[in-house]
Amino acid sequence: MLDISSPAIYIPAIFISLVFFLAVFIAKENKKAGGTPLNTLPYSDEINLSMDYIGRNILKSGRFKYRKNVDPEIKYNNKIYNSLRHAGILYAMYMYEKAGYPHTYKAGRHLAAEYFVERYIKKFGETRYIVISYPQEEQIKMPIAKTGAAGIALAALSNLYQEKKVSLDILRGLGEFIIAMQAKEGGVYAYYDLEKKEINKKAEAVYYTGEAAFGLLHLYEIDPCTKWLHGAKRGLLYLAKSRKELQMEIPFDYWSVMAIEKLFKTCTVEGDERKLLTDYIEQMLIPMIGKQITNKNNSYFGAFQENIMPGSIGAIMEGLAASYFCVDNEDLKELIYKSLSIGCLFLNKVQVKTGEQAGGLPNSANWVRPEASPNASVIRMDNVQHVMLGWLKFQEVMNLRGNHKE
């Protein structure tokens, strides 16, 4: 049973003392590495191991082997698939290269991107494009077009425009679909029902507005049209306003944090709007960090109360690292850094290090226990993707501190 003996308070004093030795060690490493490529920082070996896992599991078609098992004798037919997560893996592969790692897997990324465009991206009307979710793959009742999938597709494919691997018409069309799916208040509807030919206005998806904004900001980088920027900003301001009343019950929406970080880089957000967005991030940070297991004698040290799933924790690390670049309070930034330090350490411990599945991340840290469910030892590609991105994003924080901290 999960041990949640660690107290959860706003800024637990014990947290700082327990992780101080980790912070000192990594700070020393950062100082040595200041100004150097990210691939020389801590977790580079783990990142390479996971990237190698992804590279080994690209089929000749460009499709990924979506599910495997820590036990290589257990096989899956991999008919279950997810177009949104395929896009997420493409995005992770690109970020690996962007961070300065070798382009060893670039051909595989191009192949997987080509497969994604051909199978999942379809023209919708005169100018729009959508990302399809097929019923037989995602175990849903009808084909749908998710706004979140369109957003992640933009993040995954926009970098390919300069290489002439994807047309600007497709990228703009995905942006047009997102804008058409945006409600008056700024949030986006979850999906378009392709069978009924109408927007489903009742379905809820926690992350889709943040994912859509993230995608629009990637599109804005290559096609600086103000409607992409304004669409992203409207979505993020909507989240900040509408979730304020949730107080400590607010979900940790890591995609919206990463989108806000990207929005801030455009230098188009000032004054009250910027404060609203930073307050929103801080509102999410405090309860999330308060749930982290900080007792170093606990076998789940660095994970979270009721959450020992590596894929989920990897995504949290992505959001925590992005928040470091958004908040101004130095004490909070130190707390974020220490949370990242032990969270990434936990992920390091649960990564498969050797054998046929080296670099994989199981569904649960409990997979080694006899009483664990069979699903615990399943390795999904999105687990690997999120954990690798969590380490990559933490390296950005470490590099910044190495450059600017004495």
In a domain, 277, yes or no: no
**Are 133 and 206 found together in one domain?**
yes
Pair 247, 381 in one domain: no
Residues 400 and 312 in one domain: yes
Q: Same domain for 130 and 49?
A: no
Position 404 scores a pLDDT of: 35
Beta bridge partners of 103: none
Please check whether residues 67 and 177 belong to one and the same domain.
Answer: no
Domain boundary among 261, 280, 305: 261
Do residues 362 and 310 touch, judged by C-beta distance below 8 A?
yes
Q: What is the CB-side half-sphere exposure of residue 239 using CA atoms within 13 A?
A: 34
Per-residue pLDDT band at 5 (split at 50, 70, 90) = very low
Residues 47 and 161 in one domain: no
- Measured CA to CA, the distance from residue 319 to residue 325 in angstroms comes to 10
> Phi/psi of residue 331, each to 5°?
-65, -40
- Is the pLDDT at 133 greater than 80? The verdict is yes
Question: Looking at the 3D structure of the chain, how many domains does it have?
Answer: 2
Look at the alpha carbons of 282, 267, 89, 339 in this order and tell me if their dihedral is positive or negative. Answer: negative
- Domain termination residue (choose one: 261, 279, 314): 261
Establish if 221 belongs to a structural domain.
yes
- Kindly state whether residues 376 and 246 are assigned to the same domain: no
24-38, 151-165, 328-342: which range is least confident on average?
24-38
CB within 8 A of 311, min separation 6: which ones?
A: 361, 363, 380, 382, 383, 384, 386, 387
Tokens 């470091």 belong to which residue? 324
Q: Examine residue 44 and state whether it is found in any structural domain, yes or no.
A: yes
Check whether residue 316 and residue 380 sit in a common domain: yes
> Does residue 214 sit in the same domain as residue 151?
yes
Mean pLDDT of the chain: 90
Residue 39: what pLDDT? 73
Q: Is residue 89 part of a domain?
A: no
Max CA pair span of the chain = 60
End-to-end CA distance of the chain: 42
pTM: 0.90
378 burial (CB, 10 Å; 0-12 / 13-18 / 19+) is buried
Shared domain check, 65 and 199: no
- Domain membership flag for residue 142: yes
Structural domain boundaries enclosing 331: 1-75+291-406
Give residue-wise pLDDT tens across range 232-261: 999 999 999 999 999 999 999 999 999 999
- Specify if 386 maps to a domain: yes
| pLDDT range class, residue 78, cuts 50, 70, 90 | confident
71 with 156, same domain: the answer is no
Q: What is the CATH number of the domain that holds 171?
A: 1.50.10.20
Give backbone dihedrals phi and psi of 151, rounded to 5 degrees, phi first: -65, -45
The DSSP call for residue 245 is G
Residues 224 and 303 in one domain: no
Single out the residue of 156, 153, 235, 220 nearest to residue 189, CA to CA. Answer: 235
Give yes or no for a contact between 207 and 145, defined as CB atoms under 8 angstroms apart: no
Which residue matches tokens 């030892």?
A: 377
The average pLDDT across 10-18 equals 37
- Encode pLDDT of 33-47 as tens digits: 344 567 789 999 999
Least confident of 37-41, 65-69, 150-154, 379-383: 37-41
**Adjacency order of strands within the sheet including 198-200:** 121-124, 128-133, 144-146, 191-193, 198-200
